Amino acid sequence: MTRVLIAGGATGIGAAAALAFLEQGATVTVCDLNAEGLAALETAAAEKPGTLRTRVLDLAEPASPARAVDFAVEAQGGIDCLFVNAGLMLSADLEHWTAEMWERSIAVNLSLPMFLTQAAVPHLRASDNPSVIFTSSTGGLRGHAGMPAYHATKAGVIGLVRALADELGPCGIRVNALLPGWVDTPFNDTFWEHQEDPAEVRRKIESGIPMRRHGTPEELAGSVLYLASPAARYVTGTQLVVDGGYTAV
């Protein structure tokens, strides 16, 4: 039975992945600051064959990686897959950015994957199929005005994946990045709020996506399951782009 720790799974891609793992009978621990979202996830998971445990946790806090790992190990006896999906997208004109906004973005988007992996490695070493998955973004390859911290940190996640894949590969731990394109989740709300005409901006974005639409969280969940599965035992240090062709054209 696969034992999964998801950091950032109350809504969106993280929640969809949690439900997909549970459908396969996995034991899943989800940590997130969104208590209401976690309660909704628990309701959705009630009839799944797997087992779900949740904990409200501010993942921007320096102590959160160790707490999340300790909670998961206590709850499920170990970790086979670490999925770091938590993210923060803040949008503002350059003159309105503050040091606090910048530092919190780094804490959630870049420091959390680093130190959560560090905390989980002793337990991943004991797994016969250890996998680490970080949610980066096609924003790590492209840029939009008003989101310097988001794009900088998501590009940083790609570099972090490469370094950790090299270091952890000899002990069999795979480390990969999932790069979603435009996916319909509440995560994007701050971007839309920053636009003068959100509907027109969305129309322009979707006209540049070969599939002419946003993706859904459920359409990303299968990629997470693949990267965590034995089918991906020789896949590490790579970027799996799931974006409807957005970065292909």
User: Running DSSP on this structure, what letter comes out for residue 202?
Assistant: H
| DSSP codes, 10-36 | SSHHHHHHHHHHHHTT-EEEEEES-HH
Amino acid residing at 217: P
Q: How far is CA 184 from CA 101, 108, 247, in A?
A: 24, 21, 17
| Secondary structure (3-state) at 109 | helix
Which residues, at least 6 apart from 174, have a Cβ–Cβ distance to it below 8 Å? 130, 131, 132, 165, 168, 227, 232, 233, 235, 236
Q: Is 198 exposed, middle or buried (0-12, 13-18, 19+ CB in 10 A)?
A: middle
Please give the biggest Cα pair distance in the chain: 51
What is the distance of C-alpha 151 from the center of its chain?
Answer: 15
150 as an active site residue: the answer is yes
Choosing from 150, 226, 234, 246, the catalytic residue is 150
Closest CA to 8 of 40, 42, 32: 32
For the annotated catalytic residues, the residue numbers are 150
